[in-house]
Amino acid sequence: MSRIGKKPVSLPQGVTATVNGQTVTAKGPKGELKFVVNDEVLVKMENNEISVEPRDQTKTARSKWGMSRTQIVNILQGVKDGFEKKLEITGVGYRAALQGKNLQLALGFSHDVIYQTPQGITITVPKPTEITVSGIDKQQVGQVAAEIREYRGPEPYKGKGVRHVDERIVRKEGKKK
């Protein structure tokens, strides 16, 4: 039994949701998102609560049960508050700047890296060594943050590179004489 899947999802204040077959649509102050639930999971809406349950007791249906509920919670939270990931740049000469809507990164290469911001994502640079990625789709925000980090991930000796703010880098000891 899924402990997460058993709990019904209550609608936050200021968010409206509709269940049409297997499609859950949420509208809120930040925008509108849809999620199509897998056919092995049944979705019902009763008195401002969305409940999710498996259609049968097969292993695949039960495994998609909790994930479907979590996806519904994510779209409801996204249209109400949105999501945000913060990245930090460490290293001499490493910096970020906004060039129109694109992100320009100086990461120690012979050229600057230009990252094109996808639709629905907002990138801000409060300081040259900080990047904030925000949007209403949790998966897309995480994907964009991962793609920016991928250009120059943190290395274990000096810790130089792009990393998440809450990420802990395990440092290695250098060569000894």
pLDDT digits (tens, 9 = 90+) for 91-100: 999 999 999 9
As a whole-number percent, the residues of the chain with pLDDT over 70 amount to 99
pLDDT digits (tens, 9 = 90+) for 105-156: 999 999 999 999 999 999 999 999 999 999 999 999 999 999 999 999 999 9
Integer CA distances (angstroms), 91 to 21, 73, 85, 158, in order:
51, 38, 20, 8
Kindly report whether the global pTM for this prediction surpasses the value 0.75: yes
Q: What are the chain's domains?
A: 3-80 (3.90.930.12), 83-164 (3.90.930.12)
